[in-house]
A and B are shown apart, each in its own frame.
Chain A
Amino acid sequence: MRRMPDVLILLNFDLGRYAALASSLHFAHTDLYGFPRELFQVELDLHLRWANAYEADEHLCDNWLGTVIGRLEARSIDYDLSDTHLDLARLSRYPLVCVPTVDFMDAADQARLLTYAERGGQLIIGPGLPYLDPTLSPCEVLQEHISAPGRTEVGAGTIWWITQEDVPATVDALANPGEYSCDDCQMQLVCQTNNQCTLLFIANSTARQRSTVIRFPGMRRLRAAWGETGMRSGEGEIVVKLEPYSVQIWEVVA
């Protein structure tokens, strides 16, 4: 069985390079010394419109990227993670692609994302719209097609340029939530399926025992596929209990 999520998140390669550029401590081991984050930062005044250093931090849960990831996980929607250099053939496997964007992005990457959307893809970008390339020279590949925030039809697909505040509603509208969800946002539920088999993976990555309700339409029977033995069944919902830092795998048998 192979995972085939419908959603792809691309880390912005140029934003990562900006973060390195804007750090004064890009040496090995400096992340081990317990220094505050601000000590690493160089205050660059490049007259950019968006908070690039903030958006570049892949560990934050309250920037644009973190909000997208948080929303997908809260809705038990599986996703893949790559970066903006991903080729068009692999991009095209995903109905929905989300990319954090700021003032600048490589022209070839912009063109590839545009082509992806023109061929029918749903592309969510934000909080910024690139108008520069990584050398900060004008580069308006996406901007030529997008005049304002919101929805823009391009070819057979759509580009959604949205603010962080609009992320939850847009993700909810575009990402297929799948048949299964769980009530506890601290638990991660992933459904993997092919023609023969459907497996539910549920993980408790916290230090406490947790119970949650797995929700689905109709009647379901689940058989433990790993470790434990046993069956569960329910109409619309089944309660599961997980020990700290543990994973359960359930096969949907009916």
Chain B
Amino acid sequence: MIDPHWELVDLDPLTWRQIGRFFDPGQYLRAAQPGEHGLFILHERGRMLRVVDSQTGVRRDITLDVLDNPQEYARLLYARGEWQRVHVIDKAHLALVARVAQETPQDDRTLDEYYHQVYQLLWGNTHSYVSVPAHPRHWHGWTYEQINHWLSTLPFSPASLALGVFGDNHWLIGLILVCEHGQIRKVTTFEALDAATLAHGIAPETLAALSQQLEETFAPPVGLLLCTQDVFTAWLEQEEKMPVLLTARQQNQAHWLSLSSVQ
């Protein structure tokens, strides 16, 4: 899903292949993780409706007449050690989340604002959707507020950002973003650049050439990152981001430029 507020100038298939997975908004909302063995208890204001084990299916042996303490029930079930996560979900809460998120059309709202509201509604009431272990309230260390704050405090507007993730002979991701007033407004790829810009691969020379091209073609650059795919994956997934980049730079596997304080 691509934000209609973006001007999508170009997105080469290679880059799209690599970044497509980030456009699944569910991953930023859900507590359940892919492959995780979970127990899901659906109730409606305390009346049990259905219990499903993600590996074995419907569980009729787990039942209560009235579920009056979802947090405690989830904790007790999790303590049995059968599941990696126990979810106790009030159906009425899911209905409320859907209704509130959609009751007033707001065409000026960006997609990330919309899904952030869904996230806040879903997890705002701690008794309506209980997850044990709890939802971490971040995605691999990233939070909406952190990224939003960073974008809204860039030193220039418009400003450009670039991400180059390199494979053996070519970039796998070559993404250029132009931001204005805290919002991404234009999305294009390294195909918009002179081929010579990237001739040195992951190197300070590339950083300098890219920076100059962005300045001349789009907007003053405020954040550039060039790295290998392994470094990119580690940077995304590890909660402490800077140590990943610092180690990678020593090994000539990452170089970056940042005129803003959060990385």
Task: Give me the interface of A with B, judged by CB distance under 8 Å.
Answer: 24-25, 27-36, 38-39, 41, 207, 244-246
Q: Which B residues lie within 8 Å of A35 (CB)? A: 32, 40, 52, 87, 89
The complex places the Cα of A39 from the Cα of B101 at a distance, in Å, of 22
Interface residues of B in 22-58 (CB under 8 A from A): 25-26, 29-34, 38, 40, 42, 49-50, 52, 54, 57-58
Q: Are A39 and B32 in contact (CB under 8 A)?
A: no
Interface size classification for chain B = 20 to 34
- A249 CB to nearest chain B CB (Å): 14
**Residues in B lying within 8 Å of A, measured CB to CB:** 13, 16-17, 25-26, 29-34, 38, 40, 42, 49-50, 52, 54, 57-58, 87, 89, 91, 94-95, 97-98, 101-102, 118, 122
Does the CB pair B91–A25 fall under 8 Å?
A: yes
Residues in A with CB closer than 8 Å to B32 are: 33-35
Interface pair A28/B40, CB less than 8 Å apart: no
Contacts of A245 in B (CB 8 A): 13, 16-17
Q: Lowest 10 A-B CB distances belong to which pairs?
A: A32-B26, A34-B32, A27-B98, A28-B98, A34-B30, A38-B52, A39-B52, A245-B17, A33-B30, A36-B54
Do B50 and A39 have beta carbons less than 8 Å apart? Answer: yes
Which B residues lie within 8 Å of A246 (CB)? 13
Q: A29-B98, A38-B57 are in contact. Are A24 and B29 (CB under 8 A)?
A: no
Q: B42 is contacted by which of A24, A28, A31, A34 (Cβ under 8 Å)? A: A24
Minimal Cβ-Cβ distance residue in B for A247 = B13
Of B50, B89, B97, which is in contact with the most chain A CB atoms at under 10 Å from its CB? B50
**Shortest distance between the CB of B42 and any CB in chain A (Å):** 6
Given contacts A32-B29, A33-B94, 15 further A-B contacts (CB under 8 A): A25-B42, A27-B94, A27-B97, A27-B98, A28-B101, A28-B102, A30-B98, A32-B26, A34-B30, A34-B31, A34-B33, A35-B52, A39-B52, A207-B17, A245-B17
Look across to chain B and name the residue whose beta carbon is closest to the beta carbon of A207: B17
Q: How far is the CA of A36 from the CA of B58 in the complex (A)?
A: 10
Q: A34-B26, A38-B52 are in contact. Are A29 and B40 (CB under 8 A)?
A: no
* Complex: A24 Cα to B50 Cα, angstroms: 10
Chain B residues with CB under 8 Å of A29's CB are 29, 94, 97-98, 101, 118, 122
In the bound complex, how far is the Cα of B58 from the Cα of A35, in angstroms? 13
- Whole-angstrom distance between the alpha carbons of A27 and B94 in the complex? 7
Distance A207 CA – B29 CA, assembled complex (angstroms): 26
B26:A33 contact, CB within 8 angstroms: yes
Question: B98 touching A36 by the CB < 8 A rule?
Answer: no
**In contact, B40 and A25 (Cβ under 8 angstroms):** no
Verify A39–B30 contact, CB threshold 8 A: no
Quick one: given A33-B26, A39-B40, are A27 and B95 in contact (CB under 8 Å)? yes
* Known interface pairs A25-B94, A28-B102; A33-B29 also in contact (CB < 8 Å): yes
Q: Report the Cα distance A215→B96, complex, angstroms.
A: 56
Q: Are B49 and A38 in contact (CB under 8 A)?
A: no
- For the complex formed, measure the closest distance between the CB of A9 and the CB atoms of chain B, giving whole angstroms: 26
